[in-house]
Amino acid sequence: MDYYKEQFIKFLLDSDALKFGDFTLKSGRKSPFFMNMGKLNDGDQLIELGTAYAEAISDNFGRDVDVVFGPAYKGIPLAVATAIQFQQIFGRKIRFSCNRKEVKDHGDTGILLGSELRDGDRVVMVEDVTTSGKSMEETIPIVKAQANVEILGEIVSLDRLEYGSDKSKTALEEVSEKYGIKTAAIVSMRDVCECLRPRLSADTIQAIRSYYEQYGPLGREDVI
Report the CATH number at residue 43.
3.40.50.2020
Residue of 19, 104, 167, 169 marked catalytic: 104
Position 223 in a domain = no
Domain residues for 125?
Answer: 3-215
Position 221 in a domain = no
Domain total for the chain?
1
Position 201 in a domain = yes
Q: Is 104 known to be catalytic?
A: yes
Position 199 in a domain = yes
Closest CA to 156 of 126, 177, 179: 126
Q: What whole-number distance in Å separates Cα of residue 207 and Cα of residue 211?
A: 6
Position 159 in a domain = yes
pTM: 0.92
Position 28 in a domain = yes
Position 224 in a domain = no
Per residue of the chain (224 residues), give pLDDT as tens.
888 899 999 999 999 999 999 999 888 889 999 999 889 999 999 999 999 999 999 999 999 999 999 998 889 999 999 999 999 999 999 999 999 877 655 445 578 999 999 999 999 999 998 766 677 888 999 999 999 999 999 999 999 999 988 889 999 999 999 999 999 999 999 999 999 999 999 999 999 999 999 999 877 778 88
Residue of 106, 134, 144, 167 marked catalytic: 106
Distant-in-sequence, close-in-space partners of 10: CB < 8 Å, separation ≥ 6: none
Helix (H, G, I), strand (E, B) or coil at 174: helix
Position 185 in a domain = yes
Q: Is 106 known to be catalytic?
A: yes
